[in-house]
Amino acid sequence: MYRTVAQLDAVMKFLADFFPQLCTRVELPNRSIQGRPIYALRMHAGSNSNRRGVLIVGGMHAREMMNPDAIVDLQLDLVTSYLNETHIKIGGRVWEALDIKVMLEMLDIWMLPCANPDGREYVMNVDTLWRKNRRDNPGTPFDGVDNNRNCDIVWGVTTSATSCSPSQDSYVGSGPLSEPETCNIKHLCDTNRIDVFLDVHSFTELVLFPWGHARTQTTDPTKRFTNLATGTCAPLNPSSHQEYMLPRDQLRFQSVARQIVADIRAVRGRNYTAEPIFQVYPGGATGTASDYVYSRHIANPALHKTYGFAFETGPMDGDLANSFHPANPDPIKRDTKAGIISLMQQSICAIEFIGEALLGTPVQALRNVRDQRLATTGAGRQLIALFKRVQIPLLGVILADESLTKDALNLFERAHKLVENDESIVNERDVKRGLALVDTLVDRATSASVRRDLGTVRKRIETTVGKSVHTILENLRKPQRRKVRKRPK
């Protein structure tokens, strides 16, 4: 069953009216072409500021009916879980009450479930397979612009999935960000700190990330979209262009997407595929929202970096109509909710949480170590990825035990002090404390992979005694040598 635009809005209004400590309903500055107000719901708990922001958008394409409902359902689940202190169980995947509490107290979660209300109304009342918004394109009999081709990233460059013809469902519009729906996304990114963005579409069971307009490469930083001609209504020039991405960003996109796939699979066994948008469309797609939000900090370095993802929820099921709006969308909505929670959870940074929220200490020194030292080599990036993998399950373990939390905070303060000076020496006591914490975590971790990762961390800590921070970091930047056993002659 699908909610009307008014019903989707009514649920958000209800949440904002009755739970103002958790939910704020915001009317976005741009109304739809037909004058409908467009609302977002901001969800957050607690009082700490300078949070990471997550923006979840649904319903950009009108006929993809399940996603606005899934997002609104998730709003209800989050409120219920937070206030009742209950877990969220979606099929075989469970998020503990503490996981949800940390998400709501650490993040600013923005949800724009129905970005294209005119389109949704049109699907419900006129044309069940309508995709675009309801723009009246002057001088042509064809209506509508594809919101997910209208964003300001290589806009107006045509591909097999992007058209300059108003008759097509992938019509780019009259200019970049010409549509109210896409302007609202820009507005939310301009006026809030948005670290992670998700655009939820249907169908084919995919978790997507940039780039969409060209193949991704990580070796030549001179190959940038900023040097490409736009608005040409012609294919990408040069056609051989491959878009640069920082290796660290690529690793982040891939590892987050892989975890989302794993979390969705845990619900009922559906196998989503994680891949760059370009892989899905022969010749790519330009002007997409997830590419746009990620491209903003490259086009304008003064802007904050936003990791942009997209889902294609649900499988091909019979025909198009049944795939876009099946009679029973509930199983797919559950997969979608699990994917969104997974992404939100991975948007938390344990270091920021412990440092800024719990200790009130800026974490810039640690951030510098991550970005300027570790992220610049393959081995360093693997270490960052390891940390990202274990931080969420371990944060839950630590916060559930007061004395463990105290140990972790003390150790954090010491580590922070050490990295402020490259010449600081790690002493025996530091190492003992570090190993004691790791051993406790190994005992309490429920996942074998987390225990394995902790084993790697333990070995690294053991080698640090008596060494300077500089030496330790240099060692972490180098690939670990594997001991090769000599074969007996």
Partner 1 sequence: MKPPKKQINIEQPEKKKVTREQALGSRSGSLPGSGPVSSLYDVGPVEPHQQAEPEAAPKVRFEATIHAGLRASAGRIDQLDIDRVPGAKGEVRALVTPDECVRLLDEGFEVRLHHAHPVRPLDPALIETDDSVLRRLHRELGNLARPTGRKKSKRGKRT
Measure the CA–CA gap between 458 and 439, rounded to whole angstroms: 8
Binder among 87, 94, 165, 432 for partner 1 (CB under 8 A):
165
480 lies in the site for partner 1, by CB under 8 A: no
The total of other beta-carbon atoms located within 10 Å of residue 128's CB is 15
126 lies in the site for partner 1, by CB under 8 A: yes
Q: Which is nearer to partner 1, 252 or 325 (CB)?
A: 325
Per-position b or e across 80-92, b if 16+ CB within 10 A of its CB: ebbeeeeebebbe
65 lies in the site for partner 1, by CB under 8 A: yes
Binder among 139, 141, 301, 360 for partner 1 (CB under 8 A):
141
Site map for partner 1, 282-311, x if CB under 8 A? Answer: xx----------------------------
* Phi, psi dihedrals of residue 398, rounded to the nearest 5°: -65, -45
Q: Which stretch binds partner 1 (CB under 8 A): 12-20, 222-230, 267-275, 303-311?
A: 12-20
Task: State which of positions 221-280 bind partner 1 (CB under 8 A).
Answer: none
Phi/psi-derived region of residue 468, left when phi > 0, alpha when psi is between -120 and 50, beta in every other case: beta
Using CB under 8 A as the binding criterion, the count of chain residues that bind partner 1 stands at: 55
Measure the CA–CA gap between 111 and 68, rounded to whole angstroms: 10
DSSP reduced 3-state for 199: strand
Smallest CA-to-CA distance from 420 within 344, 359, 368, 358 is with: 368
Closest approach, Cβ 443 to partner 1, in A, equals 33
Element (DSSP H or E) covering residue 107: strand 107-112
Q: Are 151 and 182 in contact (CB under 8 A)?
A: yes
9 lies in the site for partner 1, by CB under 8 A: no
Q: Name the DSSP class of 171.
A: B
125 lies in the site for partner 1, by CB under 8 A: yes
24 lies in the site for partner 1, by CB under 8 A: no
Q: Which is nearer to partner 1, 75 or 250 (CB)?
A: 75
Closest approach, Cβ 134 to partner 1, in A, equals 13
Closest approach, Cβ 18 to partner 1, in A, equals 4
Q: Are 211 and 277 in contact (CB under 8 A)?
A: yes
361 lies in the site for partner 1, by CB under 8 A: no
Binder among 50, 89, 92, 167 for partner 1 (CB under 8 A):
167
Q: Please, where are the H alpha helices in 308-377?
A: 320-324, 330-346, 350-352, 364-368
Binder among 97, 124, 409, 473 for partner 1 (CB under 8 A):
124
220 lies in the site for partner 1, by CB under 8 A: no
Task: State which of positions 189-208 bind partner 1 (CB under 8 A).
Answer: 203-204
80 lies in the site for partner 1, by CB under 8 A: yes
Dihedral, CA of residue 201, residue 236, residue 294 and residue 254, to nearest 10: 70
Q: Are 451 and 445 in contact (CB under 8 A)?
A: yes
Measure the CA–CA gap between 292 and 299, rounded to whole angstroms: 10
Q: Can you give the binding site for partner 1, defined by CB under 8 A?
A: 1-4, 7, 10-11, 14-15, 18-22, 65, 76, 79-80, 83-85, 123-129, 131, 140-143, 158, 160-161, 163, 165, 167-170, 203-204, 281-283, 312, 316, 319-321, 323, 325, 327
